[in-house]
Structure 1
Amino acid sequence: MSSLFLRDDLAAVPHGVGDVVRLAGDEARHAVTVNRMRVGEHTSIGDGQGLVVTGVVTRVEPRELELAVETAVMHPQPAPSLVLVQALAKGDRDELAVQTATELGVSAVVPWQAERSVSRWSGPKVAKGVERWSSIVREAAKQSIRPFVPVVSEPADLAGLRALAAANRMLVLEPTATDRLSEVSFTDGSDVPVLLVVGPEGGISPRELEALAAAGAQAVRLGPEVLRTSSAGPAALAVINAALGRW
């Protein structure tokens, strides 16, 4: 099984053992022409919200594929959920962070217009940016065969992050922090979502750090190295996944 293919309305069509699930359009074209799926091979189709059916391919056309269902599983959403709050960054560094974070299991992504973000989303760029990141997480979820496609929210400002910090457990990656992420406990059994905040190329400003700390966020550091915005979040997520026993 090389990939997972998505049909958003999967739950609304017959998908039990023995049923035949049809994949059409661009998703089927990708399965047939890019992944080279052939009759007799096994693969999976999901709805991006936890439901995944697996079975054998029974028919292949240029823009259509049919799957005879052998198993149908509704996966529970992992708890606590992990959320990446990623500052906008120049080039494709923020996109690389979002892609890898999806592969590492985040449930949601929050774009953050930080004070020191070189990249700025305004006007039509907001919808375009959210759409672009949504496409990235969708493709990354398929590649990593994840039952859930993360939700990309509208961009948040500092006030929005303060509100999130008050309602969730927020960890802010900051190289000068005293607390080490590897020493943070995740064994209290709490299902409160964990939000991981990653700053832009120039780092998180003192004003932002102070405001988030006042709202209840905890600043944490990784190692002695200062990682790029594209790699800091994924590195931290690896540490958290290990601490939660998911790895």
Structure 2
Amino acid sequence: MANLYLREDLADATVGGEIELDGAEAKHAVGVSRTRVGDDLTVSDGRGLLMHGIVTTADPSRVIVQVRRLDRTEAARPRIVLVQALAKGGRDELAVQTSVELGVDEVVPWQATRSVSRWSGDKVRKGVQRWRSIVREATKQSVRSWLPQVTDPVTTKQLTLRAAGSRMLVLEPGAPEPLTGIRFEAADDRDLVLVVGPEGGVSPGESALLREAGATSVRLGDSVLRTSSAGPAAIAVLNAALGRW
């Protein structure tokens, strides 16, 4: 099974040189993945660089890898951004994890009107940290060279401001236009922003505000998906439409 590890300061890595993993990354490599001397290992800086090498030292506190090959991947354009409403029961976290595995480029927590889960006070910091940890682990699991950003939570008003400079698609059951009917021009590299509501869906007031700001309401078939599956399903559709799959 492929394993990816993250170290953000790999800019100076060279073929033939060595890099070191320590802390949680080294502990996971040796203690969980059972990495041993002579094994192949891939390390990314989370900004497009993939370093492939051979393990020369494998201790729980220190792993040294000799670099054999460097690959660089350009950032995808247009970027796919998931605006995920806070939801109960860990459904928002499941949506974030799966969306990263499917290739989302940015994750935005949204405190929607109908969100049962609420972040306030210290919960904001803890919630963002939790989502960033989920994104990091999902990036490693899916062996992605770009680590998606997780922003601070946004309000609906802040979303309307973002709609002006992007192509915003609001997922709503019963919307007149299917997501599969949306056409994408190769020259249009604006962010594709998917807005997913909580358990109770996007409220009529939120929907109206986002449409007035330039967003388009779209549906995923005739069934109603959970908030945990709607975003990943839409990202899969976009991947196919953009020729990434």
Q: Deviations over 1:4-40 (max 9, x none)?
A: 10112122xx411101111111111101110111111
Task: Write out per-residue CA displacement over residues 79-113 of structure 1, whole angstroms, 9 at most, x where no aligned residue.
Answer: 00000000000010000000000001111100000
Counting only pairs closer than 5 Å after superposition, residues 45-124 of structure 1 correspond to structure 2 as: 45-124=43-122
Segments of structure 2 that go 5 or more residues without pairing to the other structure are none
Structure-2 separation of matches of 1:237 and 1:157: 22
Q: TM-score, normalised by structure 1?
A: 0.97
Alpha-carbon offset, residue 74 of structure 1? 2.1
Task: Return the alpha-carbon distance in structure 1 between the equivalents of residues 102 and 182 of structure 2.
Answer: 19
Q: Distance in 2 between matches of 1:128 and 1:209?
A: 28
- Identical counterparts, % of pairs: 57
Aligned equivalent of 1:180: 178
In structure 1, give the amino acid aligned to 2:46.
G
* Stretches of structure 1 lacking an aligned partner (at least 5 in a row): none
Q: Secondary structure at the match of 1:220?
A: strand
Q: CA RMSD in A?
A: 0.9
> What does residue range 11-22 of structure 1 map to in structure 2 within 5 Å?
11=11, 14-22=12-20
**Distance of 1:107 and 1:211 partners within structure 2:** 25
Aligned length: 245
Displaced runs of 4 or more, over 4 A = none
Corresponding residue number in structure 2 for 1:216: 214
1:180-203 per-position Cα deviation (integer Å, ceiling 9, x unaligned): 101111234311110000000001
Instruction: For residues 46-89 of structure 1, give each alpha carbon's deviation from its aligned partner in whole angstroms, at most 9, with x where no partner exists.
Output: 11111110011111112111111111122110000000000000
**1:97-176 residue pairs with structure 2 within 5 A?**
97-176=95-174
| CA drift at 1:136 | 0.3
**Letter paired with 2:89:** G
